[in-house]
Amino acid sequence: MKIAILGTGTVGVTIGSRLIELGHSVMMGSRTANNEKAQTFVSKHTNNALSGTFEQSAKFGEIIINATKGENSIEALKLVGKNLDNKIIIDVSNPLDFSNGMPPCLIPHLSNTNSLGEEIQKTFPLSKVVKTLNTMWCGLMVNPIMINNGNHINFICGNDLEVKDKVKLLLNEFGWKNENILDLGDITSARATESVLPIWLRVYGATKNGAFNFKIVS
Amino acid sequence: MKIAILGTGTVGVTIGSRLIELGHSVMMGSRTANNEKAQTFVSKHTNNALSGTFEQSAKFGEIIINATKGENSIEALKLVGKNLDNKIIIDVSNPLDFSNGMPPCLIPHLSNTNSLGEEIQKTFPLSKVVKTLNTMWCGLMVNPIMINNGNHINFICGNDLEVKDKVKLLLNEFGWKNENILDLGDITSARATESVLPIWLRVYGATKNGAFNFKIVS
């Protein structure tokens, strides 16, 4: 599948590398066509790796993964504009606010009664936004089997059931079993999954280990 | 031990009943001395159960458990005032805001860059506030062994290590093993544990089962 990744940070590069390993074609999108990290990414993969602007990437991808920093996501996606119409956007970003020091809090206007996921959906009403994978370290996003035999939780939120089913197939390729993918409902549920970040960050701070996740037991 | 419970709702009654079962003396505190739910509670327990005003209860208790509704907690505790000096307050409440419909969001001025736990500590600086147990259904708070052999997570936050150790002994009586009690640090960590509520509520909504909890796997 042709997949665009917007954002060339650790999260974007980790997801992109895994997708190529799985046989997909990936275009790493950034603000400028000659982004250094995107070019390094391309040079590391002999096949199926491309780089381009946000706009070029979004045109290329059947699926678009938003891995930009949460504080910049809406602005970055606006550079893509109409090319998001009818496209699936997998939003793995979090609206973190570092302006009050560490650990970050959430960006006030994108939390509690709103979320980054639903703000993207509202801003681009013809796109199909699915929020998933944002509640863990990126290494686990694409390789859940790394801990506890893959048995821990990944949430999925979005307005369109069929689209969520398509995204689940990609999650399955990463190693996510359906029994560990919990559908929380429409995109407003992103308020809840983005609210996992404060506890994630404190657990990380207390344990000094980011390769953990939550599992639901009952 | 003499323990006061402020708040006569399901959470308060559940904790109170368990404490009596464990041999403690409990005074259920409410706004008025003749609160019906408190009197029902007393009538159900032949020994060790008392009821009184918030003020009488706080005077009685060596430990005070705040189980009032989060939106009323500060106001309720102000009725106790000086009687909180040097007392341990175990705060199990959450600052839920039902004014925008269901599921509730968090009260804006008590979340993200603040929390109910730290607001109580700031308002009563001579008290010793410990936030714990607020991330789950009250049945599990006092009887964690009910699911997964007791292996799931309870967070604890507070400024005083010795006080947290005392509270941990009480948690042990409920059935919490120390390996499942994660100290997140000072009372500002309550921002994170109170932020668990949005995801807790959505998981409950999706699974229709409140008798679940999160476990950390790594």
Nearest-Cα residue of chain B relative to residue A193? B199
Closest-CA residue in chain A for B201? A192
Q: What is the pLDDT of residue A47?
A: 86
Cα torsion angle, B176, B179, B185, B189, sign: negative
Tokens of A177: 């079993």
User: What local confidence, expressed as pLDDT, does residue B46 receive?
Assistant: 78
Q: Which of A106, A182, A212 sits opposite B203 (nearest CB)?
A: A182
Q: What are phi and psi of B166, to 5 degrees?
A: -65, -45
- Confirm whether A213 is domain-assigned: no
Task: Provide the residue range defining the domain that includes A150.
Answer: 2-207
In-domain check, residue B213: no
- pTM, two decimal places: 0.97
What CATH code is carried by the domain that includes residue B187?
A: 3.40.50.720
Distance from CA of B170 to the nearest CA of A (A): 22
Interface of B with A (CB under 8 A): 100, 105-106, 108, 111-113, 147-148, 151-152, 155, 182-185, 189, 191-193, 195-196, 198-199, 201-203, 205-207, 209, 211-218
Nearest CA in chain A to B109: A108
Contacts of B46 (CB under 8 A, 6+ apart): none
Of B195, B201, B213, the CB nearest to A199: B195
Instruction: Name the minimum distance, in Å, from the CA of A126 to any CA of chain B.
Output: 26
Report the number of distinct structural domains present in chain A.
1
| Within-domain flag for B214 | no
Does some domain include residue A214? no
Written as tens digits, the pLDDT of chain A (218 aa) is 999 999 999 999 999 999 999 999 999 999 998 899 999 999 999 789 999 999 999 999 999 999 999 999 999 999 997 889 999 999 999 999 999 899 999 999 999 999 999 999 999 999 999 999 999 999 999 999 999 999 999 999 999 999 999 999 999 999 999 999 999 999 999 999 999 999 999 999 999 999 999 999 99
ipTM for this prediction:
0.97
Q: Which residues have CB under 8 Å from A185's CB, separation 6+?
A: A157, B202, B205, B206
Residue B24 distance to chain A (closest CA, Å): 29
Per-residue pLDDT of chain B (218 residues; tens, 9 = 90+): 999 999 999 999 999 999 999 999 999 999 998 899 999 999 999 789 999 999 999 999 999 999 999 999 999 999 997 889 999 999 999 999 999 899 999 999 999 999 999 999 999 999 999 999 999 999 999 999 999 999 999 999 999 999 999 999 999 999 999 999 999 999 999 999 999 999 999 999 999 999 999 999 99
Whether residue A217 is contained in a domain is answered as no
Inter-chain CB proximity A217 and B216 less than 8 Å: no
Q: Which of A100, A112, A201 sits opposite B108 (nearest CB)?
A: A112
Confidence at residue B42, expressed as pLDDT on a 0 to 100 scale: 94
Q: Which residues are bridge partners to A96 per DSSP?
A: A106
Radius of gyration (Cα) for chain A, nearest Å? 16
Asked whether B130 and B164 are in contact (CB, 8 A), the reply is yes
Checking DSSP bridges between strand B128-132 and strand B154-158, what pairing results, if any?
Answer: antiparallel
Residue A52: its pLDDT value, please? 96
Asked whether residue A218 is domain-assigned, the answer is no
- Does B159 reside within a domain? yes
- B141 in Cβ contact with B173 (< 8 Å): no
Is the peptide bond preceding residue A103 cis, with omega within 30 degrees of 0? yes
Tell me whether residue A15 is in a domain: yes
pLDDT in tens, B149-174: 999 999 999 999 999 999 999 999 99
pLDDT of residue A181: 98
